[in-house]
């Protein structure tokens, strides 16, 4: 259990823009920051971070909250795990007690997989550094590869003993369940026998962007031709190979600061480049590059430099993945190494200055690289040359930016010695074909919709009461502590006539709202707004003064999205840079006292209107009720309604 003082220290040290900046490339937008959503695939920023309010809002997915909720949402951490992550980031010491067997059993399945994986990482690392077998075999291998002690510890490299069940037995003794050892793929269970998957291999932990262990890669050190040279963890609830980039945890900050990501193929390529001083490097771990992997990089930078060894066949196999990068609207450059070298070997023998200069001078634009590579194969064969040109035009068609696409066409025409008009014509044909296919798919999808919506379902119904309750919550969050001079009305009934007397009272906004709703004995009807309203009321009672940042630390995750949506709603226009386009966005110019008073009066008006409708409905459905009594009740409410309309300065409310 983490002490309250420690939690307070974590909140005090945490800066939401710094925490999110580790996962998303943020750019200044007025007083806030904006970036691409880390929760949905998008090409235009819809993600907003407010340093002043210490909150974030993703307008694409609807998610929002503070730094803690971001880590919980993005990394699927529990609340204590998110606190530990932030404590580690800001170097705040947390006194941890070892988990008991009961506590381990209480963890949900997903968390149990993470816990088992974390234990495995530590076990393999300790075996490498603290056992005779680990030092003699695993450690010696890494030293032969040129890895320093610092690098071995940085990447938590390890060794799995060359025994059938050494790891499994140790894990079971420590209280970890066989069920989760099997689900992570660390242990293979067959015919009631248990085997270590990575027996006799050096181990590379594969971590998420936040440093959680998702799985492992293991390299065999013997010459057993029947065994795979590299073996990865199988797919699990926490490990999806197509969504992971090896080294992203260590590289993310450098990628964002350098505004470029080097993409290599293997684990040792990443480690050797990192050790040499090129730290903005990640690997696809031997898989073909996927859209999910590209999105991970796209959050941090728009620029990717793909590093190839001198193997032409391998380069051709990777071209499809680069088309996906272009399709994501990113800028791609390619750098190849001399024959016989790969990023690992080249970085090991090249001083850092020379390595940096080589990467800078030899990185070429992807279209030029692809054209030169494929044209070597085509030679003077006109048929092959035509195929190469079509292939390159297909790549150009993936680029979403029209200006960039035109530049590529001009460059391709120059390299291929072909007319730009021919290339543009081919590009148009490809675009037309893709449009036809998209329309065909759209029609097919429509035919699949066998359930027809009723008119009532298709017609959007505006809930006036919820709209007003939203507005009341917004007023409390934004202006609750403001002190204003309010015009208040005391109602009097004389000779069946309702009249009002105006007085001026100085109150804080939250007092005005709470007193008004209590006076009418009103409870909010929308459950989520009611929950937020009650939490705000509780905060005011405990603290007397409103502090948004302190309040945001107290709200539960269920309310976090709605609260940040309300707070950040006015910031949405900052995503689009309207001012730079000479478009003036209208902001609230109504005085706060006027806004509060009008909102409360309108809310009362709508509630009265709803009461009248309910009474009328009751009269129609229940014949036992005396109609004269109902008519009298309706008349009284209509008198009150007319007075409220008079106070609002309008005959009927704009809300209905």
The pLDDT confidence band at residue 286, using thresholds 50, 70 and 90, is low
| Distance (Å, whole) CA 301 – CA 263 | 12
Residue 42: what pLDDT? 80
Average pLDDT value for residue range 511-522? 76
Integer CA distances (angstroms), 298 to 67, 70, 182, 222, 360, in order:
21, 18, 34, 39, 21
175, 179, 181, 182 alpha-carbon torsion, rounded to 10°? 160
Residue 544: what pLDDT? 66
Among 333, 362, 391, give the residue marking a domain's end: 362
| Distance (Å, whole) CA 557 – CA 606 | 31
355 and 259 in a single domain? The answer is yes
Domain-embedded: residue 272 = yes
More confidently predicted of 522 and 629: 522
Residue 108: what pLDDT? 73
| Distance (Å, whole) CA 469 – CA 522 | 11
Beta carbons of 554 and 539 less than 8 angstroms apart: yes
Among 362, 377, 393, give the residue marking a domain's end: 362
496 and 622 in a single domain? The answer is yes
Domain-embedded: residue 95 = no
Domain count for the chain, please give it: 5
402 and 485 in a single domain? The answer is no
Tens of pLDDT, residues 341-381: 999 999 999 999 999 999 999 999 888 888 888 877 777 78
| Distance (Å, whole) CA 202 – CA 219 | 5
616 and 495 in a single domain? The answer is yes
Domain-embedded: residue 458 = no
612 and 484 in a single domain? The answer is yes
Among 339, 362, 385, give the residue marking a domain's end: 362
User: In 3D, which of 176, 229, 230 has the Cα closest to residue 206?
Assistant: 230
Domain-embedded: residue 502 = yes
222 and 263 in a single domain? The answer is no
The pLDDT confidence band at residue 117, using thresholds 50, 70 and 90, is very high
CATH (domain of 259): 3.40.1360.10
Average pLDDT value for residue range 640-656? 47
Domain that holds residue 181: 108-235
**Concatenated DSSP letters for 352-397?**
HHHHHHHHHHH-EEHHHHHHHHHHHHHTT-HHHHHHHHHHHHHHHH
181 and 249 in a single domain? The answer is no
Q: What is the 3-state secondary structure (H, E, C) of 542-568?
A: HHCCCCHHHHHHHCCHHHHHHHHHHHH
pTM over 0.75: no
Tens of pLDDT, residues 146-203: 999 999 999 999 999 999 999 999 999 999 999 999 999 999 999 889 999 999 999 9
499 and 586 in a single domain? The answer is yes
489 and 632 in a single domain? The answer is yes
- DSSP conformational letter for 136: I
Residue 454: what pLDDT? 43
Adjacent-strand bridge partners of 48: 34, 57
169 phi and psi angles, rounded to 5 deg: -65, -40
644 and 598 in a single domain? The answer is yes
Domain-embedded: residue 96 = no
Place of tokens 């057993």: 224
Domain-embedded: residue 473 = yes
123 and 222 in a single domain? The answer is yes
453, 454, 459, 465 alpha-carbon torsion, rounded to 10°? -110
User: In 3D, which of 250, 243, 290 has the Cα closest to residue 267?
Assistant: 250
Residue 81: what pLDDT? 82
21 and 58 in a single domain? The answer is yes
Residue 95: what pLDDT? 66
């Amino acid at each position: 259990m983490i002490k309250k003082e420690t939690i307070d220290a974590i909140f005090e040290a945490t800066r939401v823009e710094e925490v999110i900046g580790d996962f998303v490339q943020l750019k200044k937008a007025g007083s806030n920051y904006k970036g691409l959503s880390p929760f949905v695939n998008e090409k235009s920023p819809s993600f907003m971070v407010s340093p002043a309010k210490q909150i974030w809002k993703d307008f694409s997915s609807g998610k929002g909250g503070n730094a803690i909720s971001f880590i919980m949402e993005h990394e699927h951490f529990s609340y204590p795990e998110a606190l530990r992550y932030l404590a580690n980031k800001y170097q705040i010491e947390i006194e941890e007690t070892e988990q008991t067997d009961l506590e381990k059993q209480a963890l949900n399945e997903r968390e149990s997989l993470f816990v088992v994986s974390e234990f495995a990482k530590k076990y393999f690392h300790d075996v490498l550094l603290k056992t005779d077998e680990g030092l003699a075999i695993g450690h010696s291998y890494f030293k032969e590869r040129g890895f320093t002690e610092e690098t071995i510890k940085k990447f938590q490299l390890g060794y799995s003993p060359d025994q059938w069940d050494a790891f499994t037995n140790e894990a079971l003794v420590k209280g970890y369940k066989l069920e989760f050892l099997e689900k992570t793929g660390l242990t293979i269970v067959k015919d009631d026998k248990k085997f270590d998957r990575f027996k006799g291999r050096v181990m590379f932990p594969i971590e998420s962007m936040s440093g959680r262990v998702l799985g492992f890669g293991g390299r065999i050190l013997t010459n057993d031709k029947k065994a795979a040279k590299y073996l990865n963890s199988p797919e699990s609830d926490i490990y999806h190979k197509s969504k992971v980039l090896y080294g992203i945890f260590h590289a993310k900050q450098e990628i964002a600061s350098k505004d470029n990501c080097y993409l290599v193929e293997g684990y040792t390529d990443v480690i050797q480049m990192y050790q040499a001083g090129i730290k903005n490097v990640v690997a696809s771990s031997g898989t073909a590059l996927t859209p999910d992997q590209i999105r991970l990089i796209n959050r941090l930078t728009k620029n990717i430099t793909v590093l190839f060894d001198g193997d032409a066949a391998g380069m051709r196999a990777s071209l499809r993945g680069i088309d996906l990068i272009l399709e994501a609207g990113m800028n791609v450059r390619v750098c190849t190494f001399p024959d016989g070298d790969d990023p690992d070997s080249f970085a090991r023998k090249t001083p850092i200055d020379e390595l940096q200069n080589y990467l800078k001078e030899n990185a070429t634009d992807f279209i030029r690289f692809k054209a030169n590579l494929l044209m070597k194969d085509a030679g003077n064969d006109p048929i092959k040359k035509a195929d190469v040109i079509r292939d390159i035009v297909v790549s150009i068609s993936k680029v979403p930016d029209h200006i960039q696409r035109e530049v590529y066409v001009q460059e391709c025409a120059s390299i291929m010695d072909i007319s730009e008009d021919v290339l543009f014509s081919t590009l148009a044909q490809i675009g037309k074909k893709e449009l036809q296919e998209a329309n065909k798919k759209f029609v097919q999808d429509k035919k699949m919709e066998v359930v027809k919506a009723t008119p009532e379902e298709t017609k959007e119904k505006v809930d006036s009461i919820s709209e007003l309750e939203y507005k009341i919550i917004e007023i409390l969050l934004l202006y609750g502590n403001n002190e204003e001079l309010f015009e208040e009305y005391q109602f009097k009934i004389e000779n069946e006539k309702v009249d009002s007397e105006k007085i001026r009272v100085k109150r804080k906004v939250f007092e005005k709202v709470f007193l008004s709703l209590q006076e009418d004995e009103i409870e909010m009807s929308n459950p989520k707004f009611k929950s937020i309203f009650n939490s705000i009321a509780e905060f005011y009672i405990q603290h007397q003064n409103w502090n948004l940042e302190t309040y945001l630390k107290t709200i539960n995750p269920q309310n976090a999205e709605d609260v940040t949506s309300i707070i950040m709603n006015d910031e949405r226009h900052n995503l689009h840079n309207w001012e730079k386009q000479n478009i003036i966005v209208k902001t609230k110019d109504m005085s706060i006292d006027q806004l509060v008073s009008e909102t409360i009066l309108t809310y009362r008006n709508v509630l009265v209107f709803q009461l009248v409708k309910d009474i009328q409905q009751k009269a129609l459905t229940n014949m036992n009720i005396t109609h004269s009594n109902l008519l009298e009740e309706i008349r009284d409410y209509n008198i009150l309604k007319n007075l409220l309309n008079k106070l609002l300065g309008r005959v009927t409310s704009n809300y209905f």
